Homo-oligomer: A and B are copies of this chain.
Amino acid sequence: MSDPTRRRLHLNAFLMEAGHHEAAWRLPHSNPRADFDLRHWIELAQLAESAKFDSLFLADGPALIGTGEFRPPGQLEPLTLLTALSQATSRIGLIATVSSTYNEPYNLARRLASVDHVSGGRAGWNIVTSAGADEAANFGLVNRPDHAERYARADEFLHIAKALWDSWESEAVVADKTTGRYADPARLHRPDHRGTYFSVAGPLNVERPPQGYPLLVQAGSSEDGKDFAARHAEAIFTAHQTYERAAGFYADIKARTRAAGRDPDGVIVLPGIVPYIGSTEEEARALAKEFDELRVPEYGLRQLAAVFETEPSVFELDAPLPDFILARPKLEGTQSRSDLIIELAVREKLTVRQIISRLGGGRGHFEFIGTPEQVADTIIAWFEGGAADGFNIMAPALPSGLESFIEHVLPILRGKGLFREEYKGTTLREHYGLPVPPNQFHPEATRVSGG
C-alpha cells in the first residue's frame, strides 16, 4: 500500500506542564501542579507513544522562571524526568534540553550515555548555551559569557563529548571468564583533550551508548546558532510565524549543513506549531479565545520586558512597541526571539496588547487556529513546500490539545501516507532515519564521525 521510499513527516511532542499556553493551568480540567506530578508526565509520554510520535521533548533552563506569581515557575530536572519516562514507555524518543554552559563535559556525556543505555537507545540532547542572567547567577557568574563565547565553548564541549562517547570501542569488552581478562585496554581510548575551555582526560566510564551518540538537537536561530547547528545538529527545533520565513530558514540551514561537509538530509528541521483545533473554524476561534481570556496581562508584559531586557513600564498596552525598542541593536541573549517579535509586530501592525496575546500561546512559535483539515493542510504545505521535515507539536493545553491533534489531525496525515502507522525501529535515530555515527577511534572507521 504505502510507498516505502516516500518521504515521511516526523512529529515531536513538545511537552510543557499543563500546556504551552501561559494560562493553561487555569483551565477547568488542568492539573495546576502538573510540573511535579510524575503521573501527568507518564500520561503524556504514553499518549504520544500510542500515537507513534518520533519523540517527546522537554525544554529547560537551570533557573526559576520569573517570579512564579502567574505561572508554574519550576520543573523536574529533565534528564531525571526522561529517565523515569523511559521506564514507562518502550519506543518513543526522549529529548531534553541541557545547558553546555553550566555543565562539565565528563558529567554530562556520562549522564546522556546512561540515559541512552537505560532507555534502549532513545535519548536526545537539545544543546543550549543558556543566555539568561538568572541562570548565570546560579553558577557564580556576574558577567555572563557573551553569545560567541558560549557557542565556542559549546563547540569544544561537543568535540569532547563525542570523543568520550567513542572512548569504548564496541569490541572493548572481552569478558573471558576462563582467563580473567575483562576488557582490552587498547580498545579503551583516552581523549586526553586540552583545549580553550576544558581539559578532560577520559576515557568515559560508560560503554558507548546504543545510539553511538544521543541524537543531537539544537534550537538557536542566531547566526552563531545556525553555524553550530550546521556542524553538529541532527534535528532542529525552530520558531517561525510564516511559511516564507520557515522556508527561508530551511533552505539556509540545509545550505549551511552542506557547506559544513554534511548531508543535508541528516538534519531534520522541525518548526513549532501551536494548534487550536475545532470542528469548525468558529469552534477553533472560540477555543483560542477561551485561552486568551485566561491570560493575566501583567505576566505578558513582564515576559515581553524580559525578552527586551527592559522594564514592563516602558510599554503601553494599546500602543505599538516603543521606537527605542524597534531601533535598538541586537541583544546578546535572546537575539532570535526579540527579532521575531519585532518582525511580527511590524508586519501585522500590532499593539503591545495584541503582541502579548499572540505570544501567550507559544512564546513566538506559529499559532494556528482552525479545523483538523486546515491544520493538516498547513502541515502538509510546509512539509511538501520545503519549509519543514516535520513539526514540533506544541499543544496549548495538555493532555487535551495533544489528544485533539492525535484524534483529529493524525488520521488525515496517515490517510495520505505521510505518517507512520507503527514504529519500525526501536531507537530515536531509527525513528528519524539517522544512522549510528561511526566511532572515531575504531580502526575500521576511515572517516571522522559526521554526526
Residues of A that sit less than 8 Å from B by CB = 23, 25-28, 30, 32-33, 35-36, 38, 61-65, 67-77, 79-81, 83-84, 86-88, 102-104, 106-107, 110-111, 113-115, 117-118, 134, 137-140, 142, 168, 172-173, 175, 177, 180-185, 188, 198-207, 294-296, 299
Q: Which of A79, A115, A138, A177 has the most CB of B within 10 A?
A: A138
Question: CA of A36 to CA of B168 in the docked complex: distance in angstroms?
Answer: 13
A80 and B77 contact, CB distance less than 8 A? no
- What number of copies of this chain does the assembly contain? 2
- Are B38 and A185 touching (Cβ within 8 A)? no
Residues of B within 8 A of A62 (CB): 106-107, 110, 205
A117 to B180, CA, bound (A): 42
- Report the nearest B residue to A65, measured CB to CB: B205
- Assess the B81–A118 pair: CB atoms within 8 A: yes
B182, A32: Cβ atoms under 8 Å? Answer: yes
- CB contacts (< 8 Å) of A30 on chain B: these are 177
A138-B26 contact, Cβ under 8 Å, with A102-B107, A172-B68, A185-B68: no
Q: Are A76 and B202 in contact (CB under 8 A)?
A: no
**Which of B69, B75, B76 makes the CB contact (< 8 A) with A181?**
B69
In the complex formed, the residue of B with least CB distance to A99 is B107
- If A62-B107, A64-B204, A73-B188 are given as contacts, then 4 extra A-B residue pairs at C-beta distance below 8 Å, sorted by A number, are A61-B205, A68-B182, A84-B87, A84-B118
Residues of B within 8 Å of A204, CB to CB, are 64, 74
Shortest Cβ distance from residue A26 to the other chain B in the assembled complex, whole angstroms: 5
Q: CA–CA, A38 to B198, complex, Å?
A: 32
Cβ contacts under 8 Å, A185 to chain B: 67-69
Complex contacts, A102 vs chain B, CB 8 Å: 104, 106-107
Q: Which of B38, B63, B205, B207 contacts A117 (CB 8 A)?
A: B38
Give the one of A23, A83, A103, A199 with max B CB within 10 A. A83
Q: Of the candidates B67, B74, B110, which one forms a contact with A77 in the assembled complex, judged by CB atoms under 8 Å apart?
A: B110
Does the CB pair A175–B25 fall under 8 Å?
Answer: yes
A114 CB contacts on chain B under 8 angstroms: 76-77, 80-81
Chain B residue with the shortest CB-CB distance to A74: B205
Complex CA gap A107/B130 in Å reads 14
Q: Kindly state the separation between the CA atoms of A139 and B200 in the bound complex, as whole angstroms.
A: 6
10 A–B pairs (Cβ distance < 8 Å), ordered by A: A32-B182, A33-B173, A35-B207, A36-B117, A62-B107, A67-B185, A68-B182, A68-B188, A73-B183, A73-B188
Cα distance A408–B73 in the bound complex, in angstroms? 51
- Give chain B residues whose Cβ lies under 8 Å from the Cβ of A74: 168, 204-207
Contact A175/B33 with A75-B206, A84-B86, A201-B134 known, Cβ cut-off 8 Å: yes
Hey, which chain B residues are within 8 Å of A173, CB to CB? 32-33, 68
Q: How far is the CA of A180 from the CA of B205 in the complex (A)?
A: 48
